[in-house]
């Protein structure tokens, strides 16, 4: 059996199909995490969308 730490409170949680909140230990910890995402407390690192590719409108203006 695999045991993981709850991402919210660090309580040890069994990773089983019976645990409907996995990887969280409870509905409360799951909702706390969801609220943190909604409040933009977490971010995923990466380049801003305009840094990933050139603006297609700029290409049209050159022709």
- Which residues sit in the known binding site for Zn(2+)? 6, 9, 25, 29
Residue closest to 7 by CA, chosen among 29, 38, 37, 34: 29
- Binding annotation: 6, 9, 25, 29
H-only helix segments in the chain:
27-38, 49-52, 56-62
Q: Is 14 helix (H, G, I), strand (E, B) or coil?
A: strand
């Amino acid at each position: 059996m695999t045991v993981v730490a709850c991402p919210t409170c660090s309580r040890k949680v069994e990773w089983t199909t019976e645990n409907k909140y996995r990887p969280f230990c409870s509905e409360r910890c799951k909702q706390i995490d969801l609220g943190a995402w909604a409040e933009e407390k977490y971010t995923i690192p990466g380049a801003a969308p305009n840094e990933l590719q050139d603006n297609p409108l700029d290409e049209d203006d050159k022709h």
